[in-house]
Amino acid sequence: MDEEMNVRVERLERDNRRLKVVGTLAAGVLGIAWLLGAAFDDKEKVPDEVRAKEFILVGQGGEALVRLHATTIRVKEDEVIVLPKLVFLGKDGKDRLTLGGGGDLAPYLRMQGSDGVTRLQMDLTEGKTGITLRDKNAKVRATFAVNAEGQPFLGLHDEQERLRIGLAHHSDGSFLVISDGTVPRATVGVTPDGAPGVAVNGKDGKPRIFLSVPQDSTPSLSIVDGEGKLHCQLFRDPDQGTGLRLFREGEILALSATVNPTGVPSYVVIDQQGSPRAILTVGPEGLPFLSLMDRDRTRKVTLMSNADGFSGMYVSDENKTLRAALGLRQGASSALQLYDAESNRIWEAPSSGRK
């Protein structure tokens, strides 16, 4: 009897152990199924949006590293705008890099130093792209911009943020401008066809001196007044040579001094109507020649000398007919001769006895 009871107890214990194993396996399967179902349920429950006034990304020690928030700015008494900002923080918690903009607001980027002062900023406004560099006092010291037409500009500023050097390129050419902080004082430029030029300005910012080299490689230096009217010009021309021109009021040429390509100098005095009235020149042999002319540019008086030692003065009428001659030959006495309208000699002193 006891033996039979022992056998039954052992059978029940084996059955009980089997039920425990089966129950454990069943519970495990059910748990995995629940987890899988929960995972699928979470995907279906991902929210369409998350709303918050601020998001903060922190490090392992809980320190703030990145902030995403919105700042309200009042632009008018009855108008405010909300400016979204993404800020990267330094170890000290100060802003080091800021990215903002959105909506109707132009995007911008700011980089701050450890002192919190913005040192570099990038902006995009109405088609204009700009980069600004600042010093430790937050003063603008350099700017680089490209406008809506694609024209670049580079500016360097002094401690008072005044523009001192500007470099620009546009449809009129490329230019370097140097300023005294108020007005431009010097400009160096190159036109689209490759002609360089330099302009020096007065204290009023108006050009006073121009140096240019056109495409034909004819350099010139011009001096103008405050109204831009030409007063003096120094030039070098392949055909005319090297020369100096002086002008009256109204840019009327008054005097011209040149040395032609063969080395012959000349000096021309011009009246207010633009007609030459006196010409002084020296020939290749070094002999001087002076001509005086009327308003019709007719030569009336000529003074000259030749290699034989003769010096003379000749007077002509409006028809270019010789009417008088005064001569002096080296080692001899002087002579005066008068002529009629047909160039016939009618008087002579001293008399030679000839007519």
pLDDT grade, residue 239 (50/70/90)? confident
User: For 47, what's the count of Cα atoms within 13 Å in the CB-facing half-sphere?
Assistant: 3
Asked whether 156 and 141 are in contact (CB, 8 A), the reply is yes
Judge residue 7's burial from the number of C-beta atoms within 10 Å of its C-beta, 0-12 exposed, 13-18 middle, 19 or more buried: exposed
Residues 6+ positions from 335 with CB-CB distance below 8 Å:
325, 326, 327, 328, 348, 349, 350
pLDDT grade, residue 4 (50/70/90)? low
Asked whether 170 and 163 are in contact (CB, 8 A), the reply is no
pLDDT grade, residue 127 (50/70/90)? confident
pLDDT grade, residue 221 (50/70/90)? very high
Peptide bond into 288 cis (omega under 30): no
Domain-by-domain residue ranges, the chain? Answer: 53-104, 264-355
User: For 305, what's the count of Cα atoms within 13 Å in the CB-facing half-sphere?
Assistant: 13
Asked whether 251 and 258 are in contact (CB, 8 A), the reply is no
Whether the predicted pLDDT of 61 surpasses 50: yes
pLDDT grade, residue 214 (50/70/90)? confident
Higher pLDDT residue, 282 or 355?
282
Question: In this predicted structure, what is the pLDDT of residue 32?
Answer: 40
pLDDT grade, residue 130 (50/70/90)? very high
For 264-355, the fitting CATH number among 3.40.190.10, 3.90.1640.30, 3.90.930.1, 3.30.420.480 is 3.90.930.1
Question: In this predicted structure, what is the pLDDT of residue 29?
Answer: 39
226-235 mean pLDDT: 92
